[in-house]
Amino acid sequence: MQLKDRVTLITGGAAGIGKATAQRFAEEGATVIICDVNSDAGQAVAKELNITFHLVDITDRQAVKQWIEDVVSEHGRVDVLVNNAGVLRDGQLVKWKNGEVVGQMSEEAFDLVISVNLKGVFNCTQAVVPAMIQQEGGVILNASSVVGLDGNFGQTNYVATKAGVVGMTKVWARELGRYNIRVNAVAPGFTATEMVIQMPEKILEGMKAHTPLGRLGEPRDIANAYLFLASDEASYITGEVLRVDGGIVVGT
């Protein structure tokens, strides 16, 4: 019961790594509140895990502020925030064929991924920090990615956000350490979420081939990293990025 009675918020908690993290934290005694934009999936997970679900779009600053206020009003505090929510909209910066541009990443795809993966993390963290300062401590955990560290073909927008999350993590660790608030990031490799396992078998085998341990990560592998960083076992760790990637070497 490493997190007994610790009030934990998890964004994007209705599926994948978010759901696995909610389950793992609940197993360790945390009071878990998830948010998501998928109401049906969120309610189903809340019922399955006996946790609480809120319908929140993290790109909406007022909705995020209200969510945090509601949680603090009910529970009196927020001990852990896991900024897990994220989206993908892949595409090459410029696709060139036969001497001309035949495609490119759209502005809409770029803006959406920035809004969710980067600004959403900013919105949630900025909203929760005052409560953590008042209670004299807390933990903020951010979802980066190995591609945010190494880059990846066709992911200008996604890589930009995940690299940005690393930068924000380091800034916030410096700014908030004086208030006993620790801020760290986790950088997963290829992980067998619902979205990933639906990919063609050839692509999945390619992912495994680039991973020295020879398999995809499980959502629970990432959840265990979040659990460690949220726990008192990591009380002297802040401003770090923990790769959980099976030793992956990202190819071109």
Residue 183 maps to a domain: yes
Coil, helix or strand at residue 76: coil
The answer to whether position 251 is within a domain reads no
Which one, of 40, 43, 51, 154, lies nearest residue 94 by Cα? 154
pLDDT of residue 199: 85
Alpha helices in 7-60 (DSSP H): 16-27, 39-49
Statement: residue 196 has pLDDT above 90: no
CB 129 within 8 A of CB 136: no
Q: Which of 90, 72, 91 is nearest to 81 (CA)?
A: 72
Instruction: Examine residue 248 and state whether it is found in any structural domain, yes or no.
Output: no
Say if residues 172 and 228 touch (Cβ distance below 8 Å).
no
Predicted confidence at residue 176, as pLDDT, reads 98
- The lowest-confidence range among 16-25, 131-140, 194-203 is 194-203
**How far is C-alpha 252 from the chain's CA centre?**
24
How far is residue 158's CA from residue 130's CA, in Å, rounded to a whole number? 29
How many Cα atoms are found within 13 Å in the side-chain-facing hemisphere of 40? 0
Q: What is the pLDDT of residue 250?
A: 67
Residue-wise pLDDT for 125-170, tens only, equals 999 999 999 999 999 999 999 999 999 999 999 999 999 999 999 9
How many domains is the chain built from? 1
Predicted structure pTM score: 0.95
* Known catalytic membership, residue 158: yes
Residue with tokens 């401590």: 137
Q: What is the DSSP letter of 84?
A: -
Provide the pLDDT confidence category of residue 198 given band limits of 50, 70 and 90.
confident
pLDDT at residue 159, rounded to an integer: 97
The closest of 44, 37, 39 to 58, measured between CA atoms, is 37
Task: With respect to residue 2, please indicate whether it lies within any of the assigned structural domains.
Answer: no
| Inside any domain, residue 252 | no
Q: State the average pLDDT over residues 60-83.
A: 98
Please give the pLDDT value at position 251: 58
- Look at residue 17 and tell me whether its pLDDT is greater than 60: yes
Residue 203 pLDDT level (bands cut at 50, 70, 90): confident
Average per-residue pLDDT in the chain? Answer: 96
What's residue 120's pLDDT?
98
The reply to whether 1 falls in a domain is no
**Structural domain span for residue 137:** 7-243
User: Which one is catalytic: 158, 179, 226, 236?
Assistant: 158
Q: How do residues 110-130 score in pLDDT, each as one tens digit?
A: 999 999 999 999 999 999 999
Q: What is the CATH number of the domain that holds 88?
A: 3.40.50.720
**Which pLDDT score is estimated for 195?**
79
Q: Evaluate if residue 249 carries a pLDDT over 80.
A: no
Residue 117 DSSP one-character state: I
End-to-end CA distance of the chain: 42
| pLDDT for the residue 219 | 97
Burial tier of 207 (Cβ tally within 10 Å: 0-12, 13-18, 19+): buried
Asked whether the beta carbons of 121 and 83 are under 8 A apart, the reply is: yes
C-alpha–C-alpha distance, residues 126 and 52, integer Å = 22
Check residue 194 and give its pLDDT. 85
Whole-number percent of the chain with pLDDT over 90: 93
Residue 57 belongs to some domain of the structure: yes
